[in-house]
Amino acid sequence: MLRKLQASCVVERVHAKTSQRPEIPITLVKATQGDGPKATLVVAYGAYGTPLSLRFREEWVPLLLRTGWTIALVHVRGGGEFGHAWHNAGRGLLKPESIGDLHAAVEWLVDNYISKPGEIVGNGVSAGGLLFGLFFQFEIKIINFVYPNNHQNKIGAVANQNPSLFRALVLNAPFLDIVSEMTNPDLPLTQHEYDEWGYPDQAGVKASWANYSPYDNLDPRSGFPGGLFFFGGGGSLVI
């Protein structure tokens, strides 16, 4: 199996380039068979200063060998790929930057003929599920965030996103109801999470949560991509 993978797949690092944000690294695992855009599994995390794992997963084997998919690991800000600065640029009031990075990376994959709309599946775990949960909406909305120095900065992130990019989302214990969870200090983990997501008494934080919380921005009139969700019985910060 290993020899077959080595003969049938390639791994490469590319960078999604946009005019409004830093280059976003993407690790691609691609089947060599066929030309042109392919169905793509997009994986992202972007939280707690933890780098996205590059461990090869057994469940990718049939995607690569049987159907010729591409696996795209998107290293958004909030993770630890480039140290504390990369983490800090995607946490607290800057969490929408992680979400914007993911959206920009997926659009870059489409624009560069690696993927195509409607044949992309998103895969996120826990905090990574929050990034993808926002793609259950139709329109992109520009949000005003108030920073501690009272400087307003418009971030084209993502309370609502374009679901036509995704055919389906596979989310494992996704963090989707950030407002309810982060405003209830009696939950076991809430107060430990403030450093990552922001303190509720900090200026602009609650408004920021409300603007990008997937649960609070669902529109029943919108059409959604397919969804497969996995949950455990003991998780207190997922819904």
Q: Return per-residue pLDDT of the chain as tens, 239 residues.
A: 667 777 788 899 999 998 888 999 999 999 887 778 899 999 999 999 999 999 888 888 888 888 889 999 999 999 999 999 999 999 999 999 999 999 899 999 999 999 988 899 999 999 998 988 877 654 333 333 333 333 332 222 222 345 577 888 888 888 888 899 999 999 888 999 999 999 999 999 999 999 888 888 877 666 677 788 887 765 554 55
E runs forming strands in 45-90: 70-74
Residue 169 lies in a domain: yes
Total structural domains within the chain: 1
What's the pLDDT score for residue 235? 55
Residue 37 lies in a domain: yes
Residue 237 lies in a domain: no
Nearest C-alpha neighbor of 126 from the set 198, 184, 47, 12? 47
Q: Is 87 exposed, middle or buried (0-12, 13-18, 19+ CB in 10 A)?
A: buried
What's the pLDDT score for residue 194? 94
Give me the domain span that covers residue 197.
2-230
180: domain CATH number is 3.40.50.1820
Angle ∠(210,52,124) on CA atoms, nearest 5: 50
What's the pLDDT score for residue 147? 34
Residue 236 lies in a domain: no
E runs forming strands in the chain: 9-16, 24-31, 40-44, 70-74, 120-125, 143-146, 152-155, 168-172, 226-230
What's the pLDDT score for residue 142? 32
Residue 200 lies in a domain: yes
Residue 183 lies in a domain: yes
Residue 38 lies in a domain: yes
What's the pLDDT score for residue 48? 96
d(Cα 175, Cα 130) in Å, to the nearest integer?
5
Backbone angle region of 210, left / alpha / beta, with phi > 0 → left and psi within -120 to 50 → alpha: alpha
HSE toward the beta carbon, residue 104, CA cutoff 13 A: 24
Residue 71 lies in a domain: yes
What's the pLDDT score for residue 1? 66
